[in-house]
Amino acid sequence: MKNNLAYREIKLIRLKKNKQEKITDLVIRESVLDISFNGEKISTLNYSNGGEKYLGVGFLFTEGFLKKKEEIIYLKYIQEKETIEVVTRNINASQKRKKRKELSLKIKKEKIKIKTEVIFQLMDDWQSRAKLFSLTGGTHSCALANREGSILLFAEDISRYNTVDKILGEALLQGLPLEDKIIIGSFRITSGIFTKMLRGRIPLIISRSAPTDRAIELAQKMGVTLIGFAREDRMNIYTYPESIDI
């Protein structure tokens, strides 16, 4: 049996047209990560494919516990404990949890301008990077890109929420500005995942899948251009079509 940090090989029975066949196939590995914030366990996440520090920091960021990199004074992934520990300046977890509910999610309604050919180029590039999905069929993926058509960060995970957290966590730790960037995802855009992206003040969200009505309403309200079903040579522009240069 093959071993890999991200996937492993298993034996199974495949049934096709009433015929059974013994085969081996690759499946994604699932791991568990505890998030410890200022000495208090905040959450337990099921995840895959590494990136523990990015995931932990991104989760705390998109859930409102963290606002900027400079707040962090200690960050460590403890593999044997399956825990990411984050300590920040002069505040405990219970105080921060109370404060996060009061955070405003409003962003500046600054429009981003991008050409359709750049979007299709980005979609092709993003899809070519989804190696784990090609091998296992068991992951979502997410990318951060600029309007010039370059993918800056990429993440795959069993959870679509984790992919967003990994991307935004890495961007936070690298000090990347997000107000002029683009997020690309493989997943449907619900209000929950949209709100995570909104923490990063992302002005343009592109998905290969569908958005929900609530996500569209939020995008319209918050000044975010939202695109769904972006594949091959077509896309649906749900909000602020003036951002797209045809």
- Confidence at residue 98, expressed as pLDDT on a 0 to 100 scale: 47
Phi first, then psi, for residue 237 (nearest 5°) are: -100, 110
**Other residues' Cβ atoms within 10 Å of the Cβ of residue 116:** 15
Dihedral sign, CA of 89, 92, 93, 99? negative
**Other residues' Cβ atoms within 10 Å of the Cβ of residue 159:** 18
Region 183-202 average pLDDT: 94
- Confidence at residue 148, expressed as pLDDT on a 0 to 100 scale: 92
pLDDT in tens, 151-162: 999 999 999 999
Answer whether CATH 3.40.140.10 is correct for domain 114-245.
yes
Q: Helices 191-199 and 213-222, interaxial angle, to 10°?
A: 30
Which of the residue ranges 3-12, 46-55, 63-72, 107-116 would you say has the lowest mean pLDDT? 107-116
**DSSP letters spanning 27-57:** EE--EEEEEEETTEEEEEEEE-SS-HHHHHH
Q: Helices 52-62 and 191-199, interaxial angle, to 10°?
A: 100
Give Cα 81 to chain centroid, integer Å: 24
- The pair of structure tokens assigned to 213 is 């009505």
Q: With 80 as the cut, is the pLDDT of residue 103 above it?
A: no
Helix or strand or coil: residue 17? Answer: coil
* Domain residue limits, the chain: 31-100, 114-245
Fold of 31-100: Ubiquitin-like (UB roll) (3.10.20)
- The pair of structure tokens assigned to 136 is 């296992």
pLDDT in tens, 211-242: 999 999 999 999 999 999 998 889 999 999 99
Task: Tell me what the pLDDT averaged over the chain comes to.
Answer: 90
Which of the residue ranges 27-36, 56-65, 103-112 would you say has the lowest mean pLDDT? 103-112
